[in-house]
């Protein structure tokens, strides 16, 4: 193959440099423009518009220690680097992103970075795997203490009283998984700033994705994502990321935090493959169009379920009837141009409870045809699950009961035609509703 390197290269380099320069200086670029262009500049060597996948595990050094930024693929890889730049472009307020082998590896590395005998204050309705890591792995290996509280309904004084001298981290999910409780992030940030131990505030933003939620702009110190979900969006990659702001303060040294996380990641090798990074970056380019469709479908599904006689309770923060709907509106990073009378799109997750309870819920799930009975969320295809028996089985039964997880059905609304999803639910809910 003959390649006219000089012409193509010159043009590509100029274009790449101009674009990089322009994007850096242009916060006015919209979400999708950033998603498509940042981190995905044409390849300077060949002009390839889509970045090549760099499978090499090692990189030539011109002299000892003189290289082009990469030495060995565990410590850094061009595709990981490119994806991390895309993530910084997507998450408003971000300065650094670190991509990990999974959302769980991200969680583990952050908890390790706290050192021995730290205390973590967490929202009680947290992803089951996060609860398991904190209460079993971190507790057994680094003596991590934890307190799980209802950050939605607890008073400021109660939250302050729950913080100890060794509280180093506050863990938030909002909306929570699977009961979709909303946490007032700026309130928790302001309480954290008052605590003598100055804990970092982390928000797991997996459910909203950077399209609907911007916790760093609300004062959070770390955002994490299971990229496995909306950011990749096609149910074919397991990955995670930690994202932190750029500007350190006297209290918060984000550069050191990033260095520590990268050091730990390299030391235990929780790194994603080049191919997975490439796939996740490809997925991220369509995040905005997917999230709009997920949100509209979820709103339609939630409205339909609300009107069904066999359904006892529907939880979707975008519905006007959700008790904290006003909070959802306040913090929405991208307010839809036309708001609908009954609500607004607010992510793709809907939870509901049938009047017939857990037995009806179990009967319902295999009857669905378009909603596949499966764990996970955030893919283009709709999924349905029973958290108490599946994603949240690691939470003790008494706590599941107290949190309202027992008998709850969780839907991840995909981007199929909304009316097809409603028809699927209409048939199965009607059938299962009578079988309590």
Ligand X SMILES: Cc1ncc(COP(=O)(O)O)c(C=O)c1O
Write out the catalytic residue numbers: 74, 127, 204, 229
Two tokens, residue 57? 């595990």
Phi first, then psi: what are they for 202, rounded to 5°?
A: -110, 135
What's the Cα-to-Cα distance from 141 to each of 114, 115, 121, 123, 264, rounded to whole Å? 12, 10, 18, 22, 15
Minimum separation from the CB atom of position 413 to ligand X (A):
15
Minimum separation from the CB atom of position 196 to ligand X (A):
29
Binding site for ligand X (CB under 6 A): 102-104, 127, 129, 173, 177, 204, 206, 226, 228, 238, 240
Q: Which is nearer to ligand X, 103 or 213 (CB)?
A: 103
Q: Which is nearer to ligand X, 257 or 383 (CB)?
A: 383
Q: Which is nearer to ligand X, 41 or 385 (CB)?
A: 385
Residues in Cβ contact with 22 at an 8 Å cutoff, skipping those fewer than 6 apart: none
Q: Which is nearer to ligand X, 179 or 206 (CB)?
A: 206
In terms of Cβ atoms closer than 10 Å to its own Cβ (0-12, 13-18, 19+), residue 312 is middle
Nearest position to ligand X, beta carbon:
103
Beta bridge partners of 408: 353
Give the containing element (helix H, strand E) for 123. Answer: strand 119-123
Minimum separation from the CB atom of position 188 to ligand X (A):
17
Minimum separation from the CB atom of position 103 to ligand X (A):
2
Q: Which residue has the tokens 């149910």?
A: 235
Q: Which of 171, 173, 176 is nearest to 134 (CA)?
A: 171
Q: Which is nearer to ligand X, 51 or 175 (CB)?
A: 175
Phi first, then psi: what are they for 249, rounded to 5°?
A: -125, 170
Minimum separation from the CB atom of position 109 to ligand X (A):
12
What's the Cα-to-Cα distance from 109 to each of 51, 73, 133, 313, rounded to whole Å? 28, 19, 11, 37
Q: Please answer whether residues 256 and 263 qualify as being in contact, where contact means their C-beta atoms are separated by less than 8 angstroms.
A: no
Minimum separation from the CB atom of position 154 to ligand X (A):
21
Q: Distance between CA 419 and CA 367 in Å, rounded?
A: 17
Residues in Cβ contact with 214 at an 8 Å cutoff, skipping those fewer than 6 apart: 91, 92, 93, 331, 333
Minimum separation from the CB atom of position 235 to ligand X (A):
11
Is the bond leading into 175 cis (omega within 30 degrees of zero)?
yes
List helix spans (H) across 175-309.
Answer: 185-194, 209-212, 254-268, 274-284, 287-306
Q: Distance between CA 10 and CA 18 in Å, rounded?
A: 12
């Amino acid at each position: 193959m003959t390649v006219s390197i000089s012409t193509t290269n010159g043009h590509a380099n100029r274009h790449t440099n101009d674009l990089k320069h322009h994007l850096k200086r242009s916060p006015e670029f919209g979400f999708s423009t950033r998603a498509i262009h940042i981190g995905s500049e044409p390849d300077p060597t060949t002009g390839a518009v889509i970045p090549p996948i760099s499978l090499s595990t090692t990189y030539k050094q011109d002299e000892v220690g003189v290289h082009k930024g990469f030495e060995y693929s565990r410590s850094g890889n061009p595709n990981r680097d490119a994806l991390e730049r895309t993530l910084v472009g997507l998450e408003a307020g971000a300065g650094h992103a670190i991509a990990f082998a999974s959302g769980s590896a991200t969680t583990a590395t952050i908890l390790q970075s706290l050192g021995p005998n730290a205390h973590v204050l967490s929202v009680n309705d947290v992803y089951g795997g996060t609860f398991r890591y904190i209460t079993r792995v971190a507790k057994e290996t680094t003596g991590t203490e934890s307190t799980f509280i209802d950050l939605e309904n607890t008073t400021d004084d109660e939250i302050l009283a729950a913080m100890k001298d060794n509280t180093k981290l506050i863990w938030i999910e909002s909306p929570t998984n699977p009961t979709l409780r909303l946490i007032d992030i700026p309130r928790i940030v302001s309480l954290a700033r008052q605590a003598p131990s100055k804990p970092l505030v982390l928000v797991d933003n997996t459910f909203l994705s950077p399209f609907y939620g911007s916790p760093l702009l609300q004062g959070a110190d770390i955002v994490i994502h299971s990229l496995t979900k909306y950011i990749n969006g096609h149910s074919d990659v397991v990955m995670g990321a930690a994202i932190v702001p750029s500007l350190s303060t006297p209290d918060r040294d984000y550069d050191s935090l990033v260095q520590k996380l990268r050091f730990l990641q390299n030391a235990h090798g929780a790194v994603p493959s080049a191919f997975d990074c490439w796939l996740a970056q490809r997925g991220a380019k369509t995040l905005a169009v997917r999230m709009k469709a997920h949100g509209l479908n979820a709103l339609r599904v939630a409205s339909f379920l609300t009107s069904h006689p066999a359904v006892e309770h529907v939880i979707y923060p975008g519905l006007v009837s959700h008790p904290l709907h006003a909070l959802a509106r306040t913090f929405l990073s991208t307010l839809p141009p036309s708001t609908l009378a009954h609500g607004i799109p607010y992510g793709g997750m809907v939870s509901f409870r049938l009047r017939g309870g857990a037995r009806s819920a179990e009967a319902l799930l295999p009857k669905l045809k378009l909603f596949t009975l499966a764990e996970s969320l955030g893919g283009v295809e709709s999924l349905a699950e029973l958290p108490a028996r599946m994603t949240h089985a690691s939470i003790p039964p008494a706590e599941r009961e107290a949190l309202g997880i027992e008998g709850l059905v969780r839907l991840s609304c995909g981007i199929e035609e909304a009316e097809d999803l409603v028809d699927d639910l209409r048939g199965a809910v009607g059938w299962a509703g009578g079988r309590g």
